[in-house]
Every structure is written in structure tokens, then in C-alpha cells.
Amino acid sequence: MKLFARLLLAIVTAMLLAACAQAPQSPQSPQARGGGKTEVLWLGQSAFRITTPGGKVIVTDPWLKQNSLTPAEYKNLEALGKVDVLLVTHGHLDHFADAPALAQLNQVPMYAPGDMNQTVSVLGILPPALAPRFNKSGTITPVPGIKVTAVHAEHSSIIVWKNPATGKDEVHPGGEPVGYIIELENGFRIYHMGDTGLFTDMKFIADYYKPDLVLMPIGGHFTMGPTDAAYATREWLRPPAVIPMHYGANPLGKGTPDEYIRALGSSGTRVLALKPGEKAIF
């Protein structure tokens, strides 16, 4: 009996080892893949300063000087430090306003929807070298080690430009809005959704790009409100972490993080409700 028991134990052990060897391995965490930390500083609305593990600075949708939520120190564009990557999701003033000045200050290209930057170049807002064009599903490497892919956003986009010859505002095409998948040196992926309403391909974006952090609009009226954002989080995106954005700076953007968290309910997603000027570390 003892011999039989030993033989049976050896067979079971061998089967378990074989099963473990054949089982798919869980993907490594971004920290395990490359190490280092990522700092995400919220500056109000959709403006963020992201400092990568390699020390590069990425700025998104910089509406700072006239944004009531932006801390006073960051209304001075030089306070952002040297900007290495500048991303704009669409042409509305609360995303684009300070981007041309930042591009010129740092002599860094302003990446934005292709047709938006065509308008920017033709109007002379920026020279073509500082307004490169790319489009949805296009991936760029603006600096070594960082990849940015444009993805769909369900919104609109125009550029309101004051004609210096007439002193009057003119409305020009702003291309189609986008969101961005930003992959950092260590593999950490951030999905900046831009301004968007619900669309079912959010699930595809989550399944395909597997973001570690989502920067998500929750204000409502112009974008998803708390209930829609919670649905997208729970049913389609299911990310490890979310930072709510695009609320509070406009009286019409009434959604709040508390409403979003209540609508989300029990979830595996960690919600980081930052105040403007606060940062999260990953």
C-alpha cells in the first residue's frame, strides 16, 4: 500500500508540474517589466503633466492660464519645466488654448488630430514643423522609449481663431477628436480619453491596449457624466485605476467624483479623485 501511495503521489505531482508549465503566464506589471515610477499631476479639466520613469515630461490638453481650477503657480507656463511631449486631443479652447505657446516655448511639436494641425499650420498659429499630422490608429514615438497611439473619441472639434486683420473670431475645422494611448518606457500605459461620450469600442480599446490608468471625463453635458463614465468603467474598460477629469471648470460640467464613485459601486478599479495641483504616483 505504501508503494502504491508513493507511486500515486509521484503521478499527481508530475501532472501538476506539467499543468503549471503549460498554463499561460500572467503579464508582468509595468514596474516588473521596467521599473521606475510615473508621476501624474492634474492641472484641472483635461490638463495633466505626466513625468515618466525616464524623466520625460508629457503635457496633455494645456488649458491653464484661463482655467479657474489651475493652481496659480502653473498659470506661468514655465513652471511646467521642460516639456518633452505635447498632446492635444481636439481643437476646443479648453484643451488647445495654451498649447501653441507651450510648443513655441519648448520648441517641441504639438501632436494633435491630423486635420486640426493642418488648420493650425494654414492659419499660421504654428509652423508646420511644430504641428505634425497623424490620425487614429497611428502610432508615433515623439521621444525615444515613449509611444503614443491616437484612438477614437465621440465628440466634436473646431478651432475658434481671432483673425488679426479683422479682429473678429472665425470658426475653422478642428479635425476629428481623439483619445491617446500613451505607453511609457517601462510599459505603463495611460489612456487619456479626451472629451468623449459613450461608444462601444471602448471595450475594444481596453481589450487591445490594456491601459493601466484611464484619465476619464465625468462632467456631463459635453462629455460622459458620472453614470455613463461608471458604466464604461465597469462594463467595458475595467482598468486598474481611473483619475476623473473634465469637471468643475465649467458650470455645465456638474458631475463630481463622488457621484461617479457611487454610480460605479463595487469594482476592482481604484478611483483617484485628485484635486488640481495634486499628483498620483504609479
Candidates 179, 183, 186; CA nearest to 215 is 179
Is residue 10's pLDDT more than 80?
A: no
CB burial readout 199-212, b (16+ within 10 A) else e: eeebeebbeeeebb
What are 129-168's pLDDT values in tens digits?
A: 999 999 999 999 999 999 999 999 999 999 999 999 999 9
pLDDT at 5: 44
**Phi, psi values for residue 52, rounded to 5°:** -85, 165
The shares of helix, strand and coil residues in the chain, as percent rounded to the nearest 5, are 30, 25, 45
pLDDT at 39: 98
pLDDT at 35: 61
Strands 39-42 and 279-281: antiparallel
Say what the pTM is: 0.87
What's the CA gap between 7 and 160, in Å, rounded? 79
Q: Is the dihedral of CA 272, 217, 201, 135 positive or negative?
A: negative
Candidates 197, 262, 182, 258; CA nearest to 232 is 197
> By three-state DSSP, how is residue 119 classified?
helix
What's the CA gap between 196 and 37, in Å, rounded? 28
Candidates 175, 186, 14, 170; CA nearest to 90 is 175
33-272 CATH pick, 3.40.630.30, 1.10.1740.10, 3.60.15.10, 2.40.100.10 = 3.60.15.10
What's the CA gap between 95 and 206, in Å, rounded? 24
- 197 in Cβ contact with 246 (< 8 Å): no
pLDDT at 36: 82
What are 193-235's pLDDT values in tens digits?
A: 999 999 999 999 999 999 999 999 999 999 999 999 999 999 9
Is residue 12's pLDDT more than 90?
A: no
What's the CA gap between 279 and 23, in Å, rounded? 38
Please state, rounded to an integer, the average pLDDT across all residues of the chain.
90
- 143 in Cβ contact with 118 (< 8 Å): no
Of the chain, the end-to-end C-alpha distance in Å amounts to 56
Domain ranges of the chain: 33-272
Is residue 177's pLDDT more than 70?
A: yes
pLDDT at 7: 43
pLDDT at 31: 41
Backbone φ/ψ region at 155: left (φ over 0), alpha (ψ -120 to 50), beta: beta
* CB-facing half-sphere around the CA of 173: CA atoms within 13 A: 11
What are 102-124's pLDDT values in tens digits?
A: 999 999 999 999 999 999 999 99
What's the CA gap between 146 and 188, in Å, rounded? 10
Give percent above pLDDT 90 in the chain: 87
